[in-house]
Structure 1
Amino acid sequence: MSDWHSWAAIAVFVGTYALIISEKIHRVAAALGGAGLMLAVGATDDVSAFYSEDSGIDWNVIFLLAGMMMIVGVLKKTGLFEYLAIWAVKKARARPFRVMVMLIVITAMTSALLDNVTTVLLIAPVTLLVCERLALPAAPFLIAEVLASNIGGTATLVGDPPNIIIASRAGLTFNDFLVHLAPLSAVLTLVLVLLCRLMFRKTFVYDEDRAAEIMELEEKEAIKNPRLLIQGLVVLALVIAGFVLHPVLHYEPSIVALLGAGLLIAVSTVETGEVLAEVEWPTLAFFAGLFIMIGGLIDTGVIKQVSDALAGAVGDNAMGGSLLLLGASGVLSGVVDNIPYVATMAPVTSDLVHSLGGGSDHVMWWALALGADLGGNATAIGASANVVVLGIAERNRRPISFWQFTKYGLIVTTATLAISAVYIWLRYFALA
């Protein structure tokens, strides 16, 4: 690609990003318009946009979301989420902060076992019902959950898609992630709880009358269709097993989710049209546009130039290089989706690892993982889970603006990356 194409791609991406931030037009329209311009200026083409694994639409992400949205859509009809909402509020004695802590911990732990997108698809409907019952604003709770999902997903190989890419490239195992990142993820979850106590302190208003009403409710009465609930839970359990057994079965999560959705529709009496109506089609369209725009930056070599510049700055300084990689990944993953970013950076990091050698070589991979996973919290479009929850909130008439999310995300990202930098320094250098 020529320099002209590179500058055109940068201009399109920056202009689209500015429109998304300004919210002058809907983010889906901005993303699709930006994707169209990338194709129009020749920064990418139809083959690259629709068929390339490196710079095209990540269909695995699209179909994973579609499949899980269909499963969640069926489960919503059973009353399961109402049951869980009442149960959670009663366990927390209807105290708003206790409810938030419970949801944060559940989200972080579940995101470590599943992926963070699947987790927020399951937790967000419960949260909306909890907030409705307690007459609380939903935005703080949803934002806290998204932040928790990205932090919790850092802990394991399957928790966040970038970790899968890193594990494949570096030859790391599930246990490697548990040993090196899970302890830090637990600490960062605790830090998130403390930050939420400060950031959302005006939200935690206790309504004694509403609390008394909820404590008198019987959650079992919320279940509307027991047979459909059993069918849905069995299929969901099979899907989760498919996710966990990915190293053995070698089925991509998207395939597992679509098989689960198809099976649930086949065995239940729910109309196919009703299930498809539950899919967040605008969210999927937004992802498609975003992938094409980032693909334009990859095809024109813009991201590769950034990666090479980072590699040149690192040199043979392992500690400085790992901290620089952590910080740069944190910043860039807040702007571009962390999946294509890690896919682009993986070969660069591999070269750094081989050039550095020694016992601390894996620290570069952990720095890349932490920066990409935690940096996704920085903005409303920094990670897939963020976009999904914003779509759910908008559909339920509880919209969360770009800046409403980002002003809290930046605080959490800055704190968690700073703690991660200290962790890397202590574990791999000072105490090694």
Structure 2
Amino acid sequence: MNDWHSWAAIAVFVGAYALIISEKIHRVAAALGGAALMLAIGATDDKSAFYSEHSGVDWNVIFLLLGMMMIVGVLKKTGMFEYLAIWSVKRARAKPFRVMVMLVVITALASALLDNVTTVLLVAPVTLLVCERLALPAAPFLIAEVLASNIGGAATLVGDPPNIIIASRAGLTFNDFLVHMAPLSAILILVLIALCRFLFRSSFQYDEKRAAEVMALEEREAIRDPRLLVQGLIVLALVVAGFVLHPVLHYEPSVVALLGAGLLVAISTAETGDVLREVEWPTLAFFAGLFIMIGGLIETGVIGEISTTLADTIGDNEMGGSMLLLGASAALSGIVDNIPYVATMAPITSDLVASMGGGGDHVMWWALAIGADLGGNATAIGASANVVVLGIAERSRQPISFWQFTKYGLVVTVVTVGLAALYVWLRYFALA
């Protein structure tokens, strides 16, 4: 890191990150401005930024989001989200905390089967409608759901993008993640529910009149276009099947999502222009800028230097190394998106595992996965799902600030990572 480009890249990233945190300017402007400066100072170039799989824009993430946003845009027109909102409130007897628990559990389970970004795209509109019906602040419910999506997504290979990267590098299967990660994920969801009761206690204001009005509603009357709903659900089921069958079909989730979006627009009566207007374009632009900034850090060797230092520190100390990797991954994934972080750390972890004589299911891999997945909850830009939910909230005129999210996310991250460290120690060392 003796090259001036490295220090300039660090300065640009820190400056952009500071602007995002301070909210002095819009986060999209900060991210795109930072990306432009990275290109201007030569920290990265057009080939690296737009075409490199290692340090460029992750188009799989961008097009996965685009495809799912289009599908959600069509489903919105059917009244499905209003139906689900009324149904969930009635099942929870309109009690705010019960509603939150139901939404958290649904989000966690769905995130294990879908990826967590897709899940929050589907659940967030329901949440906004529920909160509107019950006159509740939407922010606590949206924050709880995105935290649940990252914890639930950790359970399976397809639940969180970093898991796919780790599985590919380590040769792990869907069942390997179920055996090693799902038990921890289930425990942490219960812990999250308990934390939500404490963290958001001031938001659980029961409005008896509002509750009675919702309980009197007939959810079936919310469906405005039954035919379009059937078409949308069939396509969504095919997309979910495509995600789950990724190891067999070998179609990337982004391809599956785009195929589903194209099919649904083609067979339905939905206007293409109306569907595209439902896309969160600012969110996609933010991700593109963030990927280019992080790519600048990768191209100048900053992230590689950090990763190598971590590897040198670990040496052949298996238990200490696992704990250090878990903690460092959690901390760094809260600052940079966990996808490029894991992409950078995966080959280094592979070398560490090989030097320790371990196989594909070595504890180091699980430490990396746990740290990256849970650390994404720490800040508003730590994981893709976080950014998507902030974009949805802003578009619905109920914005969630960086610090509003982070003050809750940090608490949940510290508690869950601490319990995860205990889990790793017990399962792989104390009781092994």
Instruction: Provide the C-alpha distance between the structure 2 equivalents of 1:169 and 1:110, rounded to a whole number of angstroms.
Output: 25
Instruction: Provide the C-alpha distance between the structure 1 equivalents of 2:386 and 2:16, rounded to a whole number of angstroms.
Output: 18
- Are 1:343 and 2:348 an aligned pair? no
Q: Between Structure 1 and Structure 2, how many residues are aligned?
A: 432
- What is the CA deviation profile of residues 96-125 of structure 1, one whole-angstrom value per residue up to 9, with x for unaligned ones? 000000000000000001100000000000
SS of the aligned residue for 2:24 comes to: coil
Contact 1:360 1:428 in 2 (8 A): no
Instruction: Provide the C-alpha distance between the structure 2 equivalents of 1:359 and 1:256, rounded to a whole number of angstroms.
Output: 31
Instruction: Provide the C-alpha distance between the structure 1 equivalents of 2:359 and 2:234, rounded to a whole number of angstroms.
Output: 45
Cα deviation for residue 3 of structure 1 reads: 1.5
Instruction: Provide the C-alpha distance between the structure 2 equivalents of 1:198 and 1:107, rounded to a whole number of angstroms.
Output: 20
- Are 1:283 and 2:279 an aligned pair? no
- Are 1:31 and 2:38 an aligned pair? no
Cα deviation for residue 270 of structure 1 reads: 1.0
**What are the residue-to-residue correspondences of 1:66-145 with 2, within 5 Å?**
66-145=66-145
Structure 2 equivalent of residue 63 of structure 1: 63
Judged with a 3 Å threshold, the aligned counterparts in structure 2 of structure 1 residues 408 and 27 are, in CA distance, closer, same or farther, namely: same
Please tell me the residue identity of whatever aligns with 1:331. Answer: A
Cα deviation for residue 359 of structure 1 reads: 7.6
Structure 2 equivalent of residue 420 of structure 1: 420
**What are the residue-to-residue correspondences of 1:21-420 with 2, within 5 Å?**
21-358=21-358, 362-420=362-420
Instruction: Provide the C-alpha distance between the structure 2 equivalents of 1:313 and 1:166, rounded to a whole number of angstroms.
Output: 21
SS of the aligned residue for 1:188 comes to: helix
Report percent identity of matched pairs: 83
Please tell me the residue identity of whatever aligns with 1:272. Answer: T
Instruction: Provide the C-alpha distance between the structure 1 equivalents of 2:374 and 2:353, rounded to a whole number of angstroms.
Output: 21
Instruction: Provide the C-alpha distance between the structure 2 equivalents of 1:357 and 1:410, rounded to a whole number of angstroms.
Output: 35
Instruction: Provide the C-alpha distance between the structure 2 equivalents of 1:431 and 1:90, rounded to a whole number of angstroms.
Output: 44
Please tell me the residue identity of whatever aligns with 2:319. Answer: M
Please tell me the residue identity of whatever aligns with 2:201. Answer: R
Please tell me the residue identity of whatever aligns with 2:80. Answer: L
Contact 2:330 2:371 in 1 (8 A): yes
Please tell me the residue identity of whatever aligns with 1:182. Answer: A
Instruction: Provide the C-alpha distance between the structure 1 equivalents of 2:313 and 2:149, rounded to a whole number of angstroms.
Output: 32
Please tell me the residue identity of whatever aligns with 1:206. Answer: Y
Instruction: Provide the C-alpha distance between the structure 2 equivalents of 1:123 and 1:415, rounded to a whole number of angstroms.
Output: 25
Please tell me the residue identity of whatever aligns with 2:163. Answer: N
SS of the aligned residue for 1:380 comes to: coil
Tell me the TM-score normalised to structure 1 length. Answer: 0.99
Contact 1:49 1:57 in 2 (8 A): yes
SS of the aligned residue for 1:15 comes to: helix
Instruction: Provide the C-alpha distance between the structure 2 equivalents of 1:217 and 1:198, rounded to a whole number of angstroms.
Output: 31
Instruction: Provide the C-alpha distance between the structure 2 equivalents of 1:125 and 1:237, rounded to a whole number of angstroms.
Output: 19
- What is the CA deviation profile of residues 129-166 of structure 1, one whole-angstrom value per residue up to 9, with x for unaligned ones? 00000000000000000000000000001000100110
Please tell me the residue identity of whatever aligns with 1:425. Answer: W
Judged with a 3 Å threshold, the aligned counterparts in structure 2 of structure 1 residues 361 and 277 are, in CA distance, closer, same or farther, namely: closer
Please tell me the residue identity of whatever aligns with 1:151. Answer: I
Cα deviation for residue 357 of structure 1 reads: 1.7
- What is the CA deviation profile of residues 284-329 of structure 1, one whole-angstrom value per residue up to 9, with x for unaligned ones? 0000000000000000000000000000110111000000000000
Instruction: Provide the C-alpha distance between the structure 2 equivalents of 1:190 and 1:315, rounded to a whole number of angstroms.
Output: 35
Structure 1 equivalent of residue 20 of structure 2: 20
Instruction: Provide the C-alpha distance between the structure 2 equivalents of 1:345 and 1:26, rounded to a whole number of angstroms.
Output: 30
For the aligned residues, what is the CA RMSD?
A: 1.0
Tell me the TM-score normalised to structure 2 length. Answer: 0.99
Q: Which moved more, 1:317-326 or 1:204-213?
A: 204-213
Please tell me the residue identity of whatever aligns with 1:147. Answer: L
Please tell me the residue identity of whatever aligns with 1:28. Answer: V
Contact 1:353 1:361 in 2 (8 A): no
Instruction: Provide the C-alpha distance between the structure 2 equivalents of 1:356 and 1:246, rounded to a whole number of angstroms.
Output: 31
Cα deviation for residue 361 of structure 1 reads: 6.7
SS of the aligned residue for 1:102 comes to: helix
Instruction: Provide the C-alpha distance between the structure 1 equivalents of 2:103 and 2:210, rounded to a whole number of angstroms.
Output: 19
Cα deviation for residue 280 of structure 1 reads: 0.3
Contact 1:370 1:420 in 2 (8 A): yes
List runs of 5+ in structure 1 lacking aligned partners. none
Instruction: Provide the C-alpha distance between the structure 2 equivalents of 1:266 and 1:397, rounded to a whole number of angstroms.
Output: 31
Contact 2:112 2:155 in 1 (8 A): yes
Cα deviation for residue 93 of structure 1 reads: 0.1
Instruction: Provide the C-alpha distance between the structure 2 equivalents of 1:358 and 1:381, rounded to a whole number of angstroms.
Output: 33
SS of the aligned residue for 1:24 comes to: coil
Contact 2:170 2:361 in 1 (8 A): no
Instruction: Provide the C-alpha distance between the structure 1 equivalents of 2:271 and 2:152, rounded to a whole number of angstroms.
Output: 35
Contact 1:330 1:374 in 2 (8 A): yes
List runs of 5+ in structure 2 lacking aligned partners. none
Structure 1 residue ranges, 4+ long, deviating more than 6 angstroms after superposition:
none
Cα deviation for residue 360 of structure 1 reads: 10
Please tell me the residue identity of whatever aligns with 2:151. Answer: I
Cα deviation for residue 413 of structure 1 reads: 0.3
Cα deviation for residue 187 of structure 1 reads: 0.2
Instruction: Provide the C-alpha distance between the structure 2 equivalents of 1:53 and 1:254, rounded to a whole number of angstroms.
Output: 14
Instruction: Provide the C-alpha distance between the structure 2 equivalents of 1:358 and 1:377, rounded to a whole number of angstroms.
Output: 29
Contact 2:323 2:367 in 1 (8 A): yes
Please tell me the residue identity of whatever aligns with 1:321. Answer: G
Judged with a 3 Å threshold, the aligned counterparts in structure 2 of structure 1 residues 254 and 201 are, in CA distance, closer, same or farther, namely: same
Cα deviation for residue 377 of structure 1 reads: 0.2
Cα deviation for residue 222 of structure 1 reads: 0.2
